[in-house]
């Protein structure tokens, strides 16, 4: 009789653990990450310190995948601090400047300015190398996010 509760616990675990594994693997299957790197050019020159944000156009994903360009205009998207890339699908891409600490020492970040927006940008399985180039005559738009 003393062993009866132990068997009940083991029986419950034998059902719960496989279900938990199925739930976890089902979630990760929908989140295939693909590396996304690229370049942002303004008037043919790499745009330094620009933010690059990919907003999903599909329901399964919320939030943005983000990156920041280096001094040559190169960027790489981040999923989390430890995982690079974005999930496979279509995105609206927004690129702008600002949002960094004020160089004059103020605690207030510099204002964000939206420079470019494009819908329907696809991230495919495997490596993704993208180029975003601003043409002459582009009027910067104020970012309201």
> In the chain, count of helices (H) and strands (E)?
1, 11
Q: What is the pTM of this model?
A: 0.70
Distance CA 105, CA 9 (A): 60
Q: Between vectors from CA 78 to CA 24 and to CA 46, what angle results, nearest 5°?
A: 160
Distance CA 35, CA 124 (A): 9
Tell me the CA end-to-end span of the chain in Å, nearest whole number: 64
Q: 26 — phi, psi (to 5°)?
A: -65, -40
pLDDT tens for the chain, residues 1 to 145: 555 554 444 444 444 444 333 333 333 345 789 999 999 999 999 999 999 999 999 877 668 999 999 999 999 999 888 899 999 999 999 999 998 877 777 778 888 989 999 999 999 999 999 999 987 544 544 444 4
Handedness of CA 110, 69, 84, 55 (dihedral sign): positive
Residue 118 in contact with residue 131, Cβ under 8 Å? no
Question: H helices within the chain, ranges in order?
Answer: 4-29
């Amino acid at each position: 009789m003393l062993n009866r509760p132990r068997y009940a616990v083991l029986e419950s675990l034998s059902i719960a653990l496989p279900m938990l594994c199925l739930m976890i693997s089902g979630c990760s299957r929908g989140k295939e990450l693909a590396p996304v790197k690229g370049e942002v050019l303004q008037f043919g020159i790499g745009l330094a310190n620009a933010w690059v944000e990919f907003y999903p156009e599909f329901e399964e994903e919320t939030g943005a995948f983000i990156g920041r360009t280096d001094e040559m205009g190169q960027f790489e998207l981040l999923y989390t601090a430890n995982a690079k890339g974005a999930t496979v699908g279509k995105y609206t891409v927004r690129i702008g400047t600002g949002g960094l600490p004020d160089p004059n020492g103020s605690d207030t970040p510099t204002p964000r300015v939206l420079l470019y927006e494009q819908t329907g940008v696809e991230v495919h399985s495997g490596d993704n190398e993208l180029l975003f180039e601003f043409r002459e005559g582009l009027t910067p738009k104020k970012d309201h996010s």
